[in-house]
């Protein structure tokens, strides 16, 4: 760790001792301008971080940490196309996919702007032809359903976004997502479909991803069985760079859309991996989705750190992860259609920053990625919010809310918004023993019952949260939300000095699965060389299989 980073963290540790005695609710009493001071805006989007255990001194110390870690220099390197993914020796320039300014984007000495535009035009044209019925199935019928088969970044992003933006589908086909190699995932989806009006998109950069290709082969068998071998080219498209493997599968070259090795899977929704989303909402709305992300790219690059929303989000996360020792972070969208947003952020954050060594390969001396989790409000209030309010662990929360609903009536949405605001206030304010006793006393409860019940009704409060408020969950707003969290993750990786763009941690499991799959499939194969537990489990499964 750089000496100036160590010093900045030590300063924050000492400052925490002071802030640990302060209550957030009292900070509001002391400063009537607190909301204004501790909130930031990007057009109609408001980031309120006033309900945090911070003051102006805290923010100054956190900004010192950011500069000590050279966040600004690393940000410039990211946007320059430098090989910030050092373990794979490549750039991480997914931002170029949503930059429609026409400015040159240089990667490895080449201007890739034209190529990005050509690929975008090709897959958006294909999407519109599927939507308007110009592209049809083998029996001449337009496609009523589209099934995206992928996993990880080839599924989580498009599936989340298609659900979030479903009100903008219009007359387009229904879009489904299959990712789990558990055959139930594909089987349950196919039950509702007519093969003659179904298009499958195989989303796999290498066209070798084990789970995806197993599902793809099963989908192919489904079409062949129902419509015949000759129907395959009419019912499949692919997002891949392996033209030979795609051709062998039976997919026409003009229905294959690629992307680049400087686009990581969890950052790929802006590329042709977004084809299923483009089919869902159409090319114009997809373009607005890209513009929203580009809005945040400009904000991230051009706005001073003091009012830079992704930077502030990241610094608050570091404050709680590394100084307070909080190991979990909840993201609670008060929007049913953002039901998969927290799951999407799990991959974005935990696969990016779930690392234990620095960029140079040295063991880290500080904690990295917290556990990211969440569900939509208000459902979560009747599940895990008990722990958020009265549990032994303090868990910072991000609340997300649109000011206007996309379809719900005004009364529903007003109640939803009231719940969101009430939960963040309750987490901050809490309820003291004295307040509880006063309430119970006014309810004419006997003194001995008050003494017994009061401890159970005390809320410690002083639990931090941020609120992101925006006008409406439309394509541009969703693009902004995703990009905010992308850049937050990057800033934290810069402070922790880790590579946010590789994911070697998923490789070992894949290798071992390839080794075990033939043994699991064939009960005659010996179990020699396996550890006792694995051998025992396989043997037990064989016995249960009969």
**Separation of alpha carbons 21 and 306, rounded Å:** 25
b/e for 73-106, b at 16 or more Cβ within 10 A? ebbebbbebebbbeebebbbbbbbbbbeeeeebe
Distance CA 303, CA 324 (A): 28
Look up residue 383 and give its two tokens.
């599940």
Q: Kindly report whether the peptide bond that precedes residue 219 is cis, defined as omega within 30 degrees of 0.
A: no
Q: Label the pairing between strands 371-373 and 198-203.
A: unpaired
Which residues, including other chains, have CB under 8 Å from residue 355's CB and lie 6 or more apart? 364, 368, 369, 496, 498, 499, 505
Contacts of 285 (CB under 8 A, 6+ apart): 165, 168, 475
From 230, 248, 441, 510, active-site residue:
510
The whole-angstrom separation of Cα 240 and Cα 481 is 27
Separation between Cα atoms, residue 255 and residue 237, nearest integer Å: 5
- E strand segments, 431-527: 465-472
| DSSP code of residue 388 | H
Least Cα distance to 47 among 315, 291, 347 occurs for 315
User: How many residues are present in the chain?
Assistant: 546
Tokens of 341: 């947003």
CB atoms within 10 A of CB 335: 21
In this structure, what token pair is assigned to residue 407? Answer: 């379809």
Burial tier of 2 (Cβ tally within 10 Å: 0-12, 13-18, 19+): exposed
DSSP letters for 339-381: TTHHHHHHIIIIIHH--SB-TTSPBPSS---PEEE---TTGGG
Taking Cα atoms as reference points, which of 189, 161, 164 lies closest to residue 176?
A: 189
Q: Catalytic: which of 382, 407, 448, 521?
A: 382
351 is catalytic: yes
Q: Is 510 a catalytic residue?
A: yes
Q: Which of 84, 60, 18 is nearest to 498 (CA)?
A: 84
First to last CA, the chain: 56
Catalytic residue among 211, 288, 351, 437: 351
In sequence order, the β-bridge partners of residue 107 are 110
Give start and end residues of each alpha helix (H) in 228-282: 232-235, 243-249, 275-281
241: left (phi over 0), alpha (psi -120 to 50) or beta: alpha
- Pairwise CA distance, residues 500 & 515, whole Å: 29
What are 388's two structure tokens?
A: 């958020």
| Residue 174 burial (10 A CB sphere; 0-12, 13-18, 19+) | middle
The catalytic residues are 351, 382, 510
């Amino acid at each position: 760790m750089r000496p100036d980073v160590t010093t900045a963290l030590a300063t924050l540790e000492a400052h925490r001792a002071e802030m640990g005695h302060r209550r957030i609710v009292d900070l509001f009493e002391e400063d009537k301008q607190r909301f204004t001071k501790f909130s930031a805006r990007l057009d109609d989007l408001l980031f309120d971080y006033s309900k945090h255990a911070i003051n102006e001194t805290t923010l100054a110390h956190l900004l010192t940490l950011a500069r000590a870690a050279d966040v600004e220099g690393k940000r410039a390197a990211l946007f320059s196309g430098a090989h910030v993914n050092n373990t794979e020796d490549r750039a991480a320039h997914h931002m170029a996919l949503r930059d429609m300014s026409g400015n040159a984007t240089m990667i490895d000495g080449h201007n890739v702007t034209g190529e990005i535009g050509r690929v975008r035009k090709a897959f958006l044209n294909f999407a519109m032809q599927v939507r308007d019925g110009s592209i049809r199935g083998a029996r001449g019928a337009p496609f009523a359903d589209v099934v995206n088969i992928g996993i990880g970044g080839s599924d989580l992003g498009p599936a989340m976004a298609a659900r979030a933006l479903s009100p903008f589908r219009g007359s387009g086909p229904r879009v489904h997502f299959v990712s789990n190699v558990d055959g139930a995932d594909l089987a349950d989806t196919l039950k509702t479909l007519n093969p003659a009006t179904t298009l499958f998109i195989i989303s796999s950069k290498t066209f070798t991803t084990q789970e995806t290709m197993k599902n793809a082969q099963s989908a192919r068998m489904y079409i062949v069985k129902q419509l015949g071998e000759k129907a395959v080219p009419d019912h499949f498209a692919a997002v891949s760079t392996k033209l030979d493997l795609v051709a062998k599968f039976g997919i026409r070259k003009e229905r294959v859309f690629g992307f680049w090795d400087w686009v990581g899977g969890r950052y790929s929704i802006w590329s042709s991996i977004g084809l299923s989303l483009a089919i869902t909402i159409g090319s114009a709305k997809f373009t607005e989705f890209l513009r929203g992300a580009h809005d945040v790219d400009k904000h991230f690059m051009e706005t001073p750190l003091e009012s830079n929303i992704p930077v502030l989000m990241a610094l608050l996360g570091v404050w709680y992860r590394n100084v307070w020792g909080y190991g979990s972070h909840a993201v609670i969208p008060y929007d049913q259609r953002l039901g998969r947003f927290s799951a999407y952020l799990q991959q974005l954050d935990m696969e990016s920053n779930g690392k234990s060594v620095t960029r140079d390969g040295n063991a880290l001396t500080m904690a990295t990625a917290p556990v990211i989790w969440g569900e939509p409000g208000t459902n979560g209030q009747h599940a895990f919010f008990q722990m958020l309010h009265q549990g032994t662990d303090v868990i910072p929360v991000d609340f997300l809310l649109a000011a206007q609903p996309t379809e719900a009536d005004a009364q529903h949405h007003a109640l939803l918004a009231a719940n969101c605001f009430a939960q963040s206030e309750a987490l901050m304010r809490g309820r003291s023993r004295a307040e509880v006793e006063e309430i119970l006393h006014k309810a004419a409860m006997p003194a001995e019952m008050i003494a017994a019940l009061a401890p159970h009704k005390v809320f410690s409060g002083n639990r931090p949260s941020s609120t992101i408020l925006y006008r409406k969950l439309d394509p541009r707003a969703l693009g902004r939300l995703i990009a905010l969290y992308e850049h937050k993750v990057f800033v934290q990786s810069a402070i922790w000095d880790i590579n946010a763009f590789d994911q070697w941690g998923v490789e070992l499991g894949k290798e071992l699965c390839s080794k075990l799959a033939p043994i699991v499939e064939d009960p005659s194969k010996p179990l020699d060389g396996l550890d006792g537990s694995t051998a025992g489990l396989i043997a037990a499964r064989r016995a249960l299989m009969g």
